[in-house]
Amino acid sequence: MILIFLRSFRGAFISAVTIPATIISTYAFMLAMGFTMNTMTLLALTISVGMIIDDSIVVLENTYRHMQDGLSSLEAAVVAMNEIGFAVVATSLSIAAVFIPVAFMDGLVGQFFYEFGMTVTFAVVVSTLIALTLSPMLCARVLTHAESPRNKRLFSRFDAAFEAVFNVVERFYGRVLGFALRRRIIVILAAISVFVGSMMLLPFIGQEFTPAEDEGQFSIQIEAPVGSSIQQTSSIALEIESRMADLPAVKDVYTTIGGQYEGVVTVAQVLVQMVDTSQREISQESLMRMARERLADLAHLRLSVDPVNRMGGGGFRSAPIQYNLRGDDLGELEQVAEQVVARLQGTPGFVDVNSTSQSGKPEIAIDIDRDRASDLGVKVEDLGKAVSSLIGGQAVTTYEDGGKNIDVRVRLVGSQRERSGALRALPVRRDDGQLTELQHLASIRETFGPTSIERQNRRRQVTVLANLEPSKPLGEGVEDVRQLEAEIGLPAGVVSVFTGSADMMAESFASIFFCLFLAVILTYMILAAQFESYLHPLTIMLSLPLSVGGAFGGLWLTGRTLNIFSMIGMVMLMGLVTKNAILLVDYTNFLRRGGMDRNSALLKAGPVRLRPILMTAMSTIAGMIPVAIGLGEGAASRAPMGACVVGGMLTSTVLTLVVIPVVYSIVDDVSGWIPGLFAWMVRLPRARRGDLPAETPAFALESIDASGGSRAFAEPGAACVHESHVNREALVLQDPHSRLPG
């Protein structure tokens, strides 16, 4: 950017020094904080490259402009810092105000982005210190008017052409700016239309927790029929192994039986690993689709093909849709779950749909006749203890084996407890010490029941699980399930809750929205303190909604979704887009302090700040383009953030150059009305008509107070102060021939 806009190798060197100096300092900060080189810290350093050079570019361009006016490099550096130092500090503090809340967000996303936010914040602070100290020093010592003859020959080929093009752009921008200041209502309506139009893109942008990423591996979850032995489950897993090994780009296949469920031999997991992306042409999602097709004939088994879960979600499966039904009646929960599963299996975009409810496990039910037990003097509690001790066993002692204490349990032998008929003769002691058989107290029947019963919040639970096709984002899948729930209707006492990725997505989005709100508040407070005004920060922060259109447009054009990474990109935009507005407003105020009227200051500040605004915006965009393109491993996670920032910077830069000056002029008009409105509200004391001549000019007006108050004089348009022993009030007199009210 420096070579293109300034055609100076010395200037490029001055700005380039900022990058290694900031990065090395940030490494020292990471070491002190105990951070590691991981995905988030490297991402922070990547996006920082485009931001940390901005302040140095602004200092360099301002110095170079004053050198073209005839000042020496030392004088130009001093004058440039006097002009631009305030804006550099204000922009850096606004960016820090955005990223500090990111570092302290709650929940999983807060832990995920803590190192990211702290790393970016420190990099921005260090780059600001460099821009305020090292960059002006290098400009004063290194920057010169004349380049070497070789450089002159090199730049002369496109110098004139570039300047001619830029001058045309600058003059065109000046005319557009003049038109905008004359037609302020049209500009404001156009800006509102752009914002509303961008919000209309939101339904076309999917929502998900994290974007799907090609990690080169996936797993197949297997649940064999109830009662299957480990040999039967192993033979099923071996059959699936052989089918997966024949698929293209498969490198290794691993099988685990039981997994995280200790002692359960009916579940298995087959992990399929693919070769590196550079050695294959097929994607992970395509191979998963082929695996589902290859296993379609095993519909009698409970199978699912899942991506390896990186962010948690719990359970045997890592399905993005985890729809929990909770209640007290297990049969009712299973019935509702069956309806949901049947409907989802016929809904496009849902695959591998099943539930955690699985019946068919043989069991023996003992129905106690309480009246009969009472007549025979048998307590239900004693009956339960007898069945538990004789069938389940009771620990009576321990023995040591290899340093481990092992319980010794006493119970009936296998032939007396494995058949329901043998249980009928189970002895139970009565109150009088006599024994009676269990068949005299209860009926015994063989039945089938669930393999397991889930509970959450002290209520029974059945979970419906489903994977999603790439064309259906998680947010759309959740909405489909909610709509399906409304159509089916949940029975009284049954509640539904989303867990897993859907729950984490809702929690993360809420945390990020709060972070966004907090960032806006902190940015306003910092700008209000810097500008010592309550209104100018509002002018600057109007650039925030102007970036939304580009952010949503970038996501929509690139086919990305709204996820935690793109949401962090939105938060990042809050700090970046205010930089251009700060440069415009700060220089406009500087010109007005020099005696220039408002419109003239705006018409001059815009073209003068056009070059540094374009340079900083293009440097930020250039730093984010590799992220937006999505090059390298793990690019799918970073790409939405890059697309969001690039699109937002493009639109906000263009709109800021036109809309911010218009808003500045409107706010300035409003600020002129406030003293008059305040004076009307407090109702200034009416002056006696006989005390002053009727045509006394405002600039010669002398306040007279019967109580002996002080005197004050006012120039045209200034505040005429009326003081007494008990009050001090102000009246703005715009016309030299104005008279006091009354």
pLDDT of residue 705: 39
The tokens describing 443, both together, are 């009926």
Tens digit of pLDDT for each residue in 277-295? 878 888 888 899 999 988 8
Average pLDDT value for residue range 525-537: 83
Q: Residue written as tokens 């419906």? A: 464
For residue 175, what pLDDT band results from cuts at 50, 70 and 90? very high
**Amino acid letter, residue 740:** L
Nearest alpha carbon to residue 649 among 625, 674, 683: 625
- Least confidently predicted of 189-193, 194-198, 533-537: 533-537
pLDDT of residue 155: 54
Question: Is residue 370 within 8 Å of residue 380, measured between CB atoms?
Answer: yes
Residue with the bigger pLDDT between 51 and 311: it is 51
pLDDT of residue 296: 86
Average pLDDT value for residue range 101-108: 76
- The residues near 651 (Cβ < 8 Å, ≥ 6 apart) are 194, 546, 547, 549, 550, 553
Average pLDDT value for residue range 370-392: 83
Task: Say how many C-beta atoms besides its own lie within 10 A of residue 276's C-beta.
Answer: 10
Question: Which H/E stretch holds residue 89?
Answer: helix 73-103
For residue 316, what pLDDT band results from cuts at 50, 70 and 90? low
Question: Is residue 619 within 8 Å of residue 1, measured between CB atoms?
Answer: yes
Do strands 719-723 and 250-257 pair parallel, antiparallel, or not at all (unpaired)? unpaired
For residue 28, what pLDDT band results from cuts at 50, 70 and 90? very high
Average pLDDT, the chain: 79
Cα dihedral across residues 172, 173, 179, 182: positive or negative:
negative
Question: Is residue 731 within 8 Å of residue 722, measured between CB atoms?
Answer: yes
pLDDT of residue 443: 84
| CA–CA distances in Å: residue 222 to residues 229, 237, 312, 334, 465 | 14, 8, 20, 21, 14
- Least confidently predicted of 226-240, 414-428, 568-582, 713-727: 713-727
Average pLDDT value for residue range 447-464: 80
The full length of the chain comes to: 742
- Least confidently predicted of 49-53, 71-75, 350-354: 49-53
d(CA 540, CA 440): 87
Average pLDDT value for residue range 331-338: 88
Tens digit of pLDDT for each residue in 461-511? 898 999 898 888 888 899 999 999 988 888 888 899 998 888 888 888 888
- Least confidently predicted of 90-104, 142-156, 625-639, 661-675: 142-156
**Which three-class secondary structure string do you get for 581-637?**
HHHHHHHHHHHHHCCCCHHHHHHHHHHHHHHHHHHHHHHHHHHHHHHHHCCCCCHHH
The tokens describing 86, both together, are 């305030």
Average pLDDT value for residue range 234-250: 89
Average pLDDT value for residue range 346-368: 82
Cα dihedral across residues 306, 308, 312, 315: positive or negative:
positive
For residue 66, what pLDDT band results from cuts at 50, 70 and 90? confident
pLDDT of residue 151: 52
Residue with the bigger pLDDT between 257 and 676: it is 257
Average pLDDT value for residue range 91-114: 79
Kindly tell me if the per-residue pLDDT of 226 is higher than 80: no
| CA–CA distances in Å: residue 399 to residues 389, 393, 405, 408, 410 | 20, 16, 6, 7, 14
Domains and CATH numbers, the chain: 2-209+505-671 (1.20.1640.10), 214-309 (3.30.70.1430), 361-450 (3.30.2090.10), 683-732 (no CATH)
Question: Is residue 324 within 8 Å of residue 499, measured between CB atoms?
Answer: yes
pLDDT of residue 662: 92
pLDDT of residue 704: 37
Residue with the bigger pLDDT between 230 and 160: it is 230
- Least confidently predicted of 89-93, 185-189, 687-691, 703-707: 703-707
- CA angle 552/555/560 to nearest 5° reads 145
Kindly tell me if the per-residue pLDDT of 297 is higher than 80: yes
pLDDT of residue 689: 40
d(CA 271, CA 288): 12
pLDDT of residue 179: 92
Q: Could you tell me what percent of the chain has a pLDDT over 90?
A: 8
For residue 91, what pLDDT band results from cuts at 50, 70 and 90? confident
Kindly tell me if the per-residue pLDDT of 737 is higher than 50: no
Question: Is residue 274 within 8 Å of residue 280, measured between CB atoms?
Answer: yes
Kindly tell me if the per-residue pLDDT of 619 is higher than 70: yes
Average pLDDT value for residue range 8-28: 84
Average pLDDT value for residue range 325-350: 89
Q: Could you tell me what percent of the chain has a pLDDT over 70?
A: 83
pLDDT of residue 330: 85
Q: Is 36 exposed, middle or buried (0-12, 13-18, 19+ CB in 10 A)?
A: exposed
Question: Which phi and psi (to 5°) does residue 269 adopt?
Answer: -135, 130
Kindly tell me if the per-residue pLDDT of 448 is higher than 60: yes
Average pLDDT value for residue range 307-317: 60
Residue with the bigger pLDDT between 485 and 161: it is 485
